[in-house]
Structure 1
Amino acid sequence: MPVNQTYAQFSDTAFASAFIIYALALILSLVYYVKQQSIIDAHREAVRQRELVNAGGVSDSADPTESASTLIDEETLAAREESARRLANMTQSLMWLGVLVHLASVVMRALSASRFPFGNLYEYILMVTLFAMLAATFVLQRPQFRVMWPWVITPMLALLFYGGTELYADSAPVVPALQSFWFPIHVSTVSVGASIGIVSGIASLLYLLRMWQPKGNEKGFFGAVAKPLPSAKALDNLAYKSAIWTVPIFGLGVILGAIWAEAAWGRFWGWDPKETVAFITWILYAGYLHARATAGWRDTKAAWINILALATMIFNLFFINMVVSGLHSYAGLN
């Protein structure tokens, strides 16, 4: 079937537009992040001053000028907080817009070749980043998590940039090996599981940073970076709850791939490099859940397993697809 070049061009334009929208959202989120740092510093200074007054370290005079000064400081702080809230809301709105335009790019890509958009590594990255952005946009709606946007958008933009430049492939029919009923079912399930796993892994990374720089006792450059982050408990819970979704969905994707392998190659499992590393990734995510529920492992040990699972998935996405030769080599560059 011939490729509809109009839809293909629309898809490329929507891809570029989504990238720009995400980049603008990143800029706003960084400004919000910096504002949150100053707001936290101001709140902590106010608490310190109140403690000094209560302890008798500072004269608690009823000087009208001093009271007016304090009132202005409180109003200024309230104005800063309102400004930060507006930035957070604008970031959230831009993210929803970016997801919609991103989705339009995927749909147009599918319509251009009359197939599901999973035919090459560019399209796979397009789908994984879409699902990851969608999952993050839902999860990070809560005010305490909105400071995490720079940590999520930055790697997604890096993936999109690399996919759109180095891995880009023109819209075309898929190779005969991918013309199967199982193709969209298997790849879409794996994509959803992987995208949620990315969110979980990022949350575990930030959890380790927060554990290293405890709330209220941050020090140095990394302390300043960690200051606006939620508590370690909140980040750990986010990583755990995300992994709860990752394990069954990603595992189902691996099982569906095995069923397709039996139909296509006459065996459920052949220790092909890609399927093997995918299985190892699933084992690591499942191991993280087990460690997270095991006494003595509910601290940084479990988080390191989750991060290792994320690293293994990224290794599978790039190195296995692009360097190692196997039965899944057609899923790499066209």
Structure 2
Amino acid sequence: MSANESLAQLSNGMVYASMVVYAGSFIGFAASFAGGRGQQEDDVATATESGRSSARAVDVTSAAIAQSGASSGGTATLTKTQDDDVEPLPPGRRAGNIAMSLMWLATAFLLAGVVARGLSAGRVPWGNMYEFSLSAALATAVVFLAISTRRNLRWLGVFVVGAILLTLGAAVTILYTESAQLVPALKSVWLVIHVLAAIICGGAFTVGAAVTALYLVRDRAEKKADGTAVTGWLSSRVPSAKRLDTMAYRINAFVFPLWTFAVIAGAIWAENAWGRYWGWDPKETWAFI
């Protein structure tokens, strides 16, 4: 069965569209990072907003009491609410919010491109290195967005989106392959099991690697500060080394068992396809390391 060229072209268009939107997201995250909108500042902003919400509730209650007093013949008192003093978002925070929205949109485009690629060939969309790179970039974005629903990761966005753009750029310029059927050696259920596990692990490892790299930089800065407050660009942009270490550990603790399974599944697939469990080729060796 030949590939559906219309769906293949649709997939290419969705991939290029995602790259354009990811580029906009990258710029937004870079502006947010440059503006110093780090985790610590956002925690303060959240606390401030919580305080404002409480103040608005008190003011509204006061206004209701005053109105009740006026209707009973008492003296009416006009109470000014906090909404009259709402301040605009700082540029860095606004840029981070825009970047996050663009990343959701770009990931939707990339998901559509990956699905269309699979439908065009009537198989799973990771049958060659081009498709694997697209799927790995998608997994990286999904992992980042999933974590961002529970905590603020705008400080990390510029590094993760940068990695996604590099992966997609290499895919479309170096690894691109026309949509086609699988070679006989790849027609196995283990293609779904082994490669899907590797794709998920690749996405989580990318996010974890970015966090770990920032941890090393932040930890060195804290050791140089020798107990005093960290100054410079790290002070307002990146969480403490302890928080970064905890986050990186949790990501890797989640993904390590899955990666172990992916290596074992790959060995089983190799035995089914080529009659040996291990051949010490570069992919096998680095996966083991």
Q: Which residue of 2 aligns with 1:209?
A: 217
Aligned equivalent of 1:228, options 213, 223, 237: 237
**Counterpart residue number, 1:165:** 173
Matches of 1:121 and 1:21, distance apart in 2: 23
CA displacement at 1:115 relative to structure 2:
1.1
Instruction: State the shift of 1:141 in Å.
Output: 3.7
What number of residue pairs does the alignment pair up? 241
1:248 and 1:80 map into 2 onto residues whose CA distance is 42
Matched, 1:104 2:112: yes
Q: 1:193 to 1:37 in 2, by over 3 A?
A: closer
Q: Which residue of 2 aligns with 1:268?
A: 277
Structure 1 consecutive aligned stretches of length 4 or more whose deviation exceeds 6 Å? none
Computing the radius of gyration over CA atoms, which structure comes out larger, 1 or 2? Answer: 2
Let me know the Cα RMSD of the aligned residues.
Answer: 2.3
1:109·1:171 contact (CA, 8 Å) conserved in 2? Answer: yes
Does the alignment pair 1:237 with 2:246? yes
State whether structure 2 residue 28 is matched by structure 1 residue 21.
Answer: no
Tell me the alpha carbon deviations over residues 207-231 of structure 1, each in whole angstroms, 9 at most, x when there is no partner. 011112239423xxxx426641111
Match runs of 1:99-248 below 5 Å: 99-142=107-150, 144-214=152-222, 216-218=229-231, 223-224=232-233, 227-248=236-257
SS in 1 for 2:166: helix
Any gaps of 5 or more consecutive residues in structure 1? 44-74, 281-334
Length-normalised TM-score, structure 2: 0.77
Q: Give the Cα separation in 2 of the matches to 1:33 and 1:211.
A: 19
Q: After superposition, what is the alpha-carbon deviation per residue over 1:285-334, rounded to whole angstroms, capped at 9, x for unaligned?
A: xxxxxxxxxxxxxxxxxxxxxxxxxxxxxxxxxxxxxxxxxxxxxxxxxx
| Equivalent position to 1:252, from 256, 261, 274 | 261
Q: Which amino acid aligns with 2:202?
A: A
Q: Which residue identity lines up with residue 145 of structure 2 in the other structure?
A: T
Give 1:35 shift.
Answer: 2.1
How many Å separate the matches in 2 of 1:19 and 1:226? 31
Shift of 1:144: 4.1
Which residue in the other structure is 1:290 paired with?
none
Equivalent-residue separation in structure 2 for 1:277 and 1:226 (angstroms): 36
Structure 1 residue corresponding to 2:99, chosen from 65, 70, 91? 91
Q: TM-score, normalised by structure 1?
A: 0.67
AA matched with 1:89: N
Give yes or no for contact 1:210–1:226 (8 Å, CA) kept in 2. Answer: no
Aligned equivalents of 2:109, 2:276: Cα separation in 1:
40
Give the whole-Å Cα distance in 2 for the aligned partners of 1:94 and 1:31.
14
* Partner Cα separation in structure 2 for residue 120 and residue 272 of structure 1: 17
Distance 1:144 1:181, change over 3 A: closer
**2:36 corresponds to:** 36
Distance 1:119 1:146, change over 3 A: same
Whole-angstrom CA distance in 2 between matches of 1:210 and 1:202 = 12
Q: What displacement does 1:80 show?
A: 4.7
SS across alignment from 2:233: helix
Which of structures 1 and 2 has the larger relative contact order (alpha carbons within 8 angstroms, sep 6+)?
2
Kept in 1, the 8 Å contact 2:133–2:168? The answer is yes
Q: C-alpha displacement at 1:99, in angstroms?
A: 1.1
Q: 1:11 to 1:212 in 2, by over 3 A?
A: same
Deviation string 1:88-139 (CA, Å, 9 cap, x unpaired) is 3222221111111111000000011111112221111101110011001111
Aligned counterpart, 2:73? none
Q: Which runs of 5+ in 2 are unaligned?
A: 45-84
CA distance in 2, matches of 1:111, 1:20: 23
On the 8 A contact 1:213/1:226 being kept in 2, the answer is: no
